[in-house]
Each structure stands twice: as structure tokens, then as C-alpha cells.
């Protein structure tokens, strides 16, 4: 029974991925065509490189958010984790080797995610409430650590965020690796399939002899790890870490997942489709920036996109 339970979600996701992938390819090509014909700077090497770098943060956060959403939960704390991990790594560079400082920043994200997971899984608290409280708490801790931005003096700190492997930024390759490994984890491993199954029916998973609390904790830990990694890379890329960075980053992550077809009710979503959602969202953001659209209008658009996609999903479920 356990084996059947863990195989079924993967088969469902794989079947839907075919249609989703085709739709994303068409949409992405359409966006690229519109951008190429309406902006002289879109296809320039500088803009394309910036596009690849800018999608790293959203991509990493979106994958971590996907894992949590698959369980039927949500993680609103990722933006604050980005800020804390980045400023912690930047601050520790003065006294520790750069790789160690970055590792500590990453582990801070892991720790925050694990705490969220324990509170949700072991104490039965609502994910929205837990991660909303974490959002405020972690943001406060970032300001406690340093009220002012930290800019490391060692130029080697900027290597992770600025290094290139040919025409592709190393940070982008790291994000792609996370999606590739994460996709295999969600579809080919018992733990990944259990996480997806929990979102479908947690009680059935429990009756199958699978530990729901352990897998819930794992899901939030993965989200925290992705946010910690995103924070370290972002600080390295921009060359400065600020305690105020990351505000509304959770909205981008949720939007990418929803655009990719993930259900906020849990149990449905894939790494491949979420990556497509990231591409669509980043392309839209880049276009709006090239057109000079103000940032607050971009936030309005993202909110409307989330609502529109959820309405479409609900309509499809009703018709189905």
C-alpha cells in the first residue's frame, strides 16, 4: 500500500507536465518575441546576463516554496530568511574564511526552516500563522545583527554572485542544479513522493505508515535552505547585504509556483512547471523594467496574476 501511495502522485504530475510544458514554451516564446520587437535592449548581452542573474533568487525561493505548497502549507518567511542569511554571511567574512561564512549563512536558513517545520508538524500550528510570525521575528533578528548595510571588503566575497561559466553566471547554474536535483527528489524518491502525497490526503499517508510530521519538517527545512542559499548568493551578487532586503520576495515565489500550476491546496505541482513559472515571471518583470513601469504597479500585477491563475484552476476543477 505504501509503495502504491508514493507512486501515484508522481504519475499524475508527470501526465500534467506534458500539457503544462507545451503551454509554457508557447507563452515564453511569445513574451520573448514581444520583448525583442518592442525593446532595443532586451536581446543585448548585458540585459540577458542580468536576466539570468536576477532569476536566481526567485528561482531558488520558488522551488523551496513549491515543496511547502505541495504539502498544503505556505512559507511567508522566505524573504526575511534571505535578508538574515545574506547579512550574516557578509558580517562573518571579517572573522571567518569566506566559504565558512557563506555556509553559516546557509545553515541559518536551514535552521529557520526546521523551526517552522517543527512548529507546524509537531505542534499542529497553522503554516500561515507560524511563517507570518517567523517573517517578523527573522526580520527583526536581521536588524538586531546590523541596523546598517554590510559591504565586505574582500573582493572574493563577490565571486559566487558574479562568476561566469562561459556566457552563463555560475549562480544561475546553481539554481538550475537545485531544480534538476529537486525534480528528481520530488518524483523519484520516497520522501519526495510522500511530501506530494501529504498535500493530497495527509490522513491516508499516515494510515500508510508514513511519518507525516517528519516529512512536513523536511519540506519546511528545504524551503529554509533554498532561502538561505538565495540570501548568500544575492549578497554576493550585489556586493552589499541589507537587513531590509527581501520584502515581498515571498509574493514572487508564490506567484511563480501558482503560474506553474501548483495548487495552494496542496498535492499538485512540479519542479519543471514551477521553473516555467519562474521564467514567465522574470520575463514579465524584465519587460516592465525596460518599459519603465514603477515597482508598485509591478506588485499590483503580480497579485492580479495570482488571483487570475487561482480562478482558472478552480474553474478547471469544477469542470473536471
Give domain status of residue 318, yes or no.
Answer: no
Give domain status of residue 288, yes or no.
Answer: no
Give domain status of residue 71, yes or no.
Answer: yes
DSSP for 181-225, written as a single string? HHHHHHHHSHHHHHHHHHHH-HHHHHHTT--HHHHHHHHHHHHHH
Q: Which of 5-14, 54-63, 88-97 has the lowest mean pLDDT?
A: 5-14
Give domain status of residue 175, yes or no.
Answer: yes
Give domain status of residue 241, yes or no.
Answer: yes
- In terms of residue numbers, what domain contains 202? 2-19+55-247+263-270
Percentage of the residues of the chain whose pLDDT score is greater than 90: 69
Counted domains in the chain: 1
Q: Of the candidates 58, 51, 272, which has an alpha carbon nearest to the alpha carbon of residue 175?
A: 58
Question: Between these two residues, 240 and 12, which has the higher pLDDT value?
Answer: 240
Q: Which residues contact 288 (CB under 8 A, 6 or more apart)?
A: 297, 298, 301
> Would the pTM of this model clear 0.75, i.e. be above it?
yes
Q: Which residues contact 53 (CB under 8 A, 6 or more apart)?
A: 161, 169, 171, 172, 237
Q: Is the pLDDT of residue 314 over 80?
A: no
Show the CA angle centred on residue 235, arms to residues 232 and 238, nearest 5°.
Answer: 145
Q: Of the candidates 214, 232, 229, 257, which has an alpha carbon nearest to the alpha carbon of residue 114?
A: 214
pLDDT, one tens digit per residue, over 158-203 is: 999 999 999 999 999 999 999 999 999 999 999 999 999 999 999 9
| Angle, helices 295-319/271-290, rounded to nearest 10 degrees | 140
Give domain status of residue 11, yes or no.
Answer: yes
pLDDT, one tens digit per residue, over 107-166 is: 999 999 999 999 999 999 999 999 999 999 999 999 999 999 999 999 999 999 999 999
Rounded CA separation 227/286 (Å):
22
Give domain status of residue 310, yes or no.
Answer: no
3-state secondary structure of 168: strand
Give domain status of residue 81, yes or no.
Answer: yes
Task: Compute CA 18 distance to the chain's CA centroid, rounded to the nearest angstrom.
Answer: 22
pLDDT score for 9: 44
Amino acid at each position: 500500500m505504501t509503495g502504491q501511495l508514493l507512486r501515484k502522485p508522481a504519475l499524475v504530475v508527470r501526465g500534467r507536465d506534458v500539457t503544462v510544458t507545451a503551454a509554457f514554451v508557447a507563452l515564453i516564446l511569445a513574451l520573448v518575441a514581444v520583448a525583442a520587437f518592442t525593446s532595443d535592449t532586451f536581446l543585448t548581452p548585458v540585459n540577458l546576463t542580468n536576466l539570468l542573474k536576477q532569476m536566481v533568487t526567485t528561482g531558488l525561493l520558488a522551488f523551496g516554496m513549491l515543496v511547502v505548497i505541495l504539502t498544503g502549507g505556505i512559507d511567508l518567511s522566505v524573504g526575511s530568511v534571505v535578508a538574515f542569511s545574506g547579512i550574516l554571511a557578509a558580517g562573518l567574512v571579517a572573522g571567518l574564511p569566506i566559504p565558512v561564512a557563506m555556509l553559516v549563512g546557509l545553515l541559518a536558513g536551514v535552521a529557520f526552516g526546521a523551526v517552522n517545520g517543527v512548529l507546524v508538524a509537531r505542534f499542529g500550528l497553522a503554516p500561515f500563522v507560524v511563517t507570518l510570525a517567523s517573517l517578523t521575528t527573522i526580520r527583526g533578528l536581521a536588524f538586531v545583527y546590523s541596523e546598517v548595510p554590510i559591504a565586505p571588503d574582500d573582493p572574493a566575497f563577490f565571486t559566487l554572485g558574479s562568476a561566469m561559466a562561459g556566457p552563463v553566471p555560475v549562480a544561475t547554474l546553481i539554481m538550475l542544479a537545485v531544480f534538476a536535483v529537486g525534480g528528481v527528489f520530488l518524483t523519484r524518491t520516497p520522501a519526495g513522493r510522500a511530501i506530494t502525497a501529504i498535500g493530497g490526503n495527509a490522513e491516508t499517508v499516515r494510515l500508510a505508515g508514513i511519518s507525516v510530521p517528519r516529512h512536513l519538517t523536511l519540506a519546511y527545512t528545504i524551503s529554509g535552505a533554498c532561502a538561505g542559499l538565495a540570501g548568500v548568493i544575492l549578497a554576493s551578487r550585489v556586493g552589499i547585504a541589507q537587513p531590509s532586503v527581501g520584502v515581498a520576495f515571498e509574493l514572487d515565489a508564490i506567484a511563480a509556483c501558482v503560474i506553474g500550476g501548483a495548487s495552494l491546496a496542496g498535492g499538485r505541482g512540479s519542479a519543471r512547471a514551477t521553473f516555467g513559472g519562474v521564467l514567465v515571471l522574470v520575463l514579465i518583470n524584465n519587460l516592465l523594467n525596460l518599459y519603465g513601469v514603477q515597482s508598485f504597479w509591478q506588485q499590483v500585477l503580480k497579485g492580479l496574476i495570482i488571483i487570475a491563475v487561482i480562478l482558472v484552476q478552480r474553474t478547471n476543477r469544477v469542470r473536471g
